[in-house]
Amino acid sequence: MAQIAFITGASSGIGAACARKFAQNGYTLLLNARNTEKLQALQEELQAAYGVSVVLLPFDVRDREAAAHALKQLPEEYQAIDVLVNNAGLALGIDKEYEGIEENYDTMIETNITALLMMTRLVVPNMVARGKGHIINIGSVAGDAAYPGGSVYCATKAAVKVLSDGLRMDLVDTPLRVTNVKPGLVETNFSVTRFGGDKERADKVYQGIKPLTGEDIAEVVYFAASAPAHVQIAEVLVLATHQASGSLVYRS
C-alpha cells in the first residue's frame, strides 16, 4: 500500500498545497479541516488528477473527542500513518497583549499548541510501535522573536519549536524523525483570518514584496519527508528574499 500522510488544516493555504504535493508523489491522504465543502472539492481534485486515495476527517482540531473518534474509526489499513503534518494554526488580531480579546488568546493557544499536542499524542504511539514515521510541524519565523501586536501568536509558535525539539529528544532512540518548518511571509488566507475577514487590510501585508506561497512551503515539507531515512531535517526557516526576520521586511 502507498505511504500515508495525515495533514491537518488541509482545506486551504499551506495544508492544501501539502496535500497536492504528497498526492503528486502517490501518497494516500488523510485530510483534516473544519470546512467540509472545501475538503470535498480538494478530495475530488486530487483523486481525479493523481488517482490517489483521499480520506476526509472533517473535525475541529480543538475537539479532542472528535479527533480521537475520527482516527479510531479509520479502517485498519489507513491507521499506519507514515507522515503527520501538523499544519492547522492561526493568528487572530494585532492587539497589544494587555488589550487583546481573551477568546482570541484561547483559540490561538488551543489550535496552535494544544491541538498539535493532541494530534501528536494520537498518532505517534502507533508510529513508535511500527518503528516508522515522520512528524512535521508547521511553526513560524514568529516563533523566533516577538513582534508588536503578535506576542500571543509568537508565543504559540515558539511553543511549536520547543515541542518539536522535545519530541525529537523523546524519539532519539527510535527511527522516527521530527521536523519544524518555519515560514515567513506566505500569501494565503492567514492574514484575512487575522484581520477578521478584512481582505483589503490583509492584502497590504504583502504589498511591495513577493511573498512565499503555500506551494513553496509544501516543497520544503516534502523535501524533508522524502530525505533518506538516516537524514533528519530538524528545522527549516523559509523566508521571502526581501524578508530578514519576522519584523524586518524591505518593500519596494
**H or E, element range at 243:** none
Instruction: Based on the residue annotation, tell me whether 157 is a catalytic residue of this protein.
Output: yes
Q: How many CB atoms lie within 10 A of CB 95?
A: 15
The pLDDT assigned to 113 comes to 98
Instruction: Based on the residue annotation, tell me whether 153 is a catalytic residue of this protein.
Output: yes
Residues with Cβ within 8 Å of residue 148, at least 6 apart in sequence: 94, 96, 247
Q: Which whole-number Å values give the CA distances from 93 to 76, 96, 104, in the listed order?
A: 41, 9, 8
The domain locations on the chain are 4-238
The pLDDT assigned to 169 comes to 98
Residue by residue, DSSP assigns 166-194 as: HHHHHTTTSS-EEEEEEE-SB-SSHHHHH
Map residue 84 onto helix, strand or coil.
strand
Confidence of residue 2 (pLDDT cuts 50, 70, 90): very high
The pLDDT assigned to 183 comes to 97
Is the whole model's pTM more than 0.85, yes or no?
Answer: yes
199 pLDDT higher than 90: no
Residue of 157, 199, 206, 250 marked catalytic: 157
153 pLDDT higher than 80: yes
Average pLDDT rounded to a whole number, residues 40-48: 98
1 pLDDT higher than 80: no
Q: Are residues 57 and 32 in contact, defined by beta-carbon separation less than 8 angstroms?
A: yes
92 pLDDT higher than 90: yes
β-pairing, 54-57 vs 4-7, is unpaired
Confidence of residue 196 (pLDDT cuts 50, 70, 90): confident
Measured between alpha carbons, how far is 252 from 235 in angstroms, rounded to an integer? 30
CATH topology (fold) of 4-238:
Rossmann fold (3.40.50)
Q: Which whole-number Å values give the CA distances from 166 to 63, 161, 207, 213, in the listed order?
A: 24, 9, 37, 29
Confidence of residue 200 (pLDDT cuts 50, 70, 90): confident
Rg (CA), the chain: 17
The pLDDT assigned to 27 comes to 98
pLDDT digits (tens, 9 = 90+) for 132-145: 999 999 999 999 99
Residue of 27, 78, 105, 153 marked catalytic: 153
In degrees rounded to 5, what are phi and psi of residue 101?
A: -90, 125
β-pairing, 28-32 vs 4-7, is parallel
* Residue of 144, 175, 178 lying closest to 164 (CA atoms): 178
Q: Are residues 61 and 67 in contact, defined by beta-carbon separation less than 8 angstroms?
A: yes
The pLDDT assigned to 249 comes to 95
